[in-house]
């Protein structure tokens, strides 16, 4: 029987150099999209997908993330004494969200290395990985879409998206063949090969890996085995390529819109679109944007 995926790992030890100086003293995962830190979008997606435990892999200077998901006694006390019930509910809902534990990545040696740091907390069970830079807006949470495939095949599943040739070298890229699934919807692929950040000319396809993975615990052995790859780092993509020797891996072209919030342009787009969708802000913000007469 397929074992239930109960845990989600959030690598969050990166240096956030693309957002300096904002990230000099603040983790990039805490940058707000409208009024919620990036990582909270991912944590909510995990929760809405049925995951019960969050493991955040942090590094130096990331205590703001721990404080964010912790109870803030002083703040709650202050809001209570001022009868700010709505704000109190918002603050409490963050610490009540889900069970969070932390693993430490002392050096930023790559995504695969970060996932390996979570091994003791994950144990010998399937788990998911969410990269909080990738914000995905969809009716069914992206991770839930992958879990549906996992529950059918009991095999690792990666989120895939078609990207234009000029940006393919920023991603892990797969060579994959379509698989008929659920009445032939054309979203499922069986992976034949994976390459981390290939040159456009060498990319095996236009299908990029996006930051959602359902993994089986044998990935840890693969990650321990592989040498450093692209950028001199231990890459999760290389670990998956190693794992492919011993088991099938699937890719799923998820439904939904993905924003690359790890990039300034993508972050701004997400900010504008999420603000426009908000009931309390959208109408006024739209009026403002129109008034700019661009």
Closest to ligand G1P by CB, 58 or 237: 237
Place of tokens 């069986």: 190
Alpha-carbon distance of 158 to 193, in angstroms, equals: 12
| Segment 111 to 170, residues that bind ligand G1P, using CB under 6 A | 111, 131, 133-134
CA distance 287 to 280: 13
Task: Between 7 and 241, name the residue whose CB sits nearer to ligand G1P.
Answer: 241
Which one of the spans 30-38, 179-187, 235-243, 246-254 is the region binding ligand G1P (CB under 6 A)? 235-243
Least gap, CB of 45 to ligand G1P (angstroms): 15
- Closest distance of CB 196 from ligand G1P, Å: 5
- What's the rounded Cα separation, in Å, for the pair 4 and 126? 7
What is the chain's percent helix, strand, coil content, to nearest 5?
40, 25, 35
Specify the residue, 23 or 79, whose C-beta has the smaller distance to ligand G1P. Answer: 23
Alpha helices, H only, the chain: 38-48, 63-69, 73-81, 85-95, 111-117, 119-122, 142-153, 219-225, 236-243, 264-277, 282-291
Of residues 179, 177, 173, 149, the one with CA closest to residue 160: 173
Asked if 176 is part of the footprint of ligand G1P (rule: CB under 6 A), the reply reads: no
Q: Considering the rule CB under 6 A, would residue 103 count as an interface residue with ligand G1P?
A: no
CB-nearer residue toward ligand G1P: 3 or 192:
192
Structure tokens at 16: 């956030």
Subset of residues 200 to 219 that bind ligand G1P, contact rule: CB under 6 A: 208-211
Size of the site for ligand G1P (CB under 6 A): 14
Closer residue to ligand G1P, CB minimum distance, 111 or 215: 111
Is 172 a binding residue for ligand G1P by CB under 6 A? The answer is yes
Instruction: List the structure tokens of 208.
Output: 């990029």
Q: Is 196 in the site for ligand G1P (CB under 6 A)?
A: yes
Tokens of 140: 């069914």
Q: Is 261 an interacting residue with respect to ligand G1P (CB under 6 A)?
A: no
Minimum CB separation from ligand G1P for residue 236, in Å?
6
| Nearest distance, CB of residue 260 and ligand G1P, angstroms | 7
Torsion sign over Cα 185, 186, 187, 193: positive
- Give 222 or 237: the residue with its C-beta nearer to ligand G1P: 237
The CB-of-93 to ligand G1P minimum distance in angstroms stands at: 28
Tell me if residue 33 falls in helix, strand or coil.
Answer: strand
Residue with tokens 């095949």, as numbered in its chain: 153
Q: Contact residues for ligand G1P (CB under 6 A)?
A: 111, 131, 133-134, 171-172, 196, 208-211, 235-237
């Amino acid at each position: 029987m397929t074992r239930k995926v109960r845990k989600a790992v959030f690598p969050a030890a990166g240096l956030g150099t693309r957002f300096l100086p904002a990230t000099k003293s603040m983790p990039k995962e805490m940058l707000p999209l409208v009024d919620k830190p990036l990582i909270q979008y991912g944590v909510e997606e995990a929760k809405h997908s049925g995951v019960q435990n969050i493991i955040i892999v942090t590094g130096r200077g990331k205590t703001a993330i721990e404080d964010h998901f912790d109870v803030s006694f002083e703040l709650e006390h202050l809001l209570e004494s001022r009868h700010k019930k709505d704000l109190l509910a918002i603050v409490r809902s963050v610490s009540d969200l889900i069970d969070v534990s932390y693993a430490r990545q002392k050096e930023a040696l790559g995504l695969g290395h970060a996932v390996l740091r979570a091994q003791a907390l994950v144990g010998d069970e399937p788990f998911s990985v969410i990269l909080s830079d990738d914000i995905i807006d969809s009716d069914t949470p992206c991770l839930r879409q992958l879990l549906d495939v996992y529950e059918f095949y009991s095999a690792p599943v990666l989120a895939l998206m078609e990207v234009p040739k000029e940006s393919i070298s920023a991603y892990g890229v797969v060579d994959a063949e379509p698989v008929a699934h659920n009445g032939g919807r054309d979203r499922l692929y069986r992976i034949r090969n994976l390459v981390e950040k290939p040159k456009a000319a060498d990319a095996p396809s236009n299908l990029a890996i996006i930051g959602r993975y359902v993994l089986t615990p044998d990935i840890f052995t693969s990650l321990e085995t592989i040498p450093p790859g692209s950028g001199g780092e231990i890459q999760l993509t290389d670990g998956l390529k190693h794992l492919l020797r011993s088991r099938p891996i699937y890719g799923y072209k998820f439904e939904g819109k993905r924003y690359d919030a790890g990039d300034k342009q993508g972050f701004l787009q997400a900010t504008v679109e999420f603000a426009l969708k908000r009931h309390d802000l959208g109408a006024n913000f739209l009026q403002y944007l129109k008034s700019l007469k661009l």
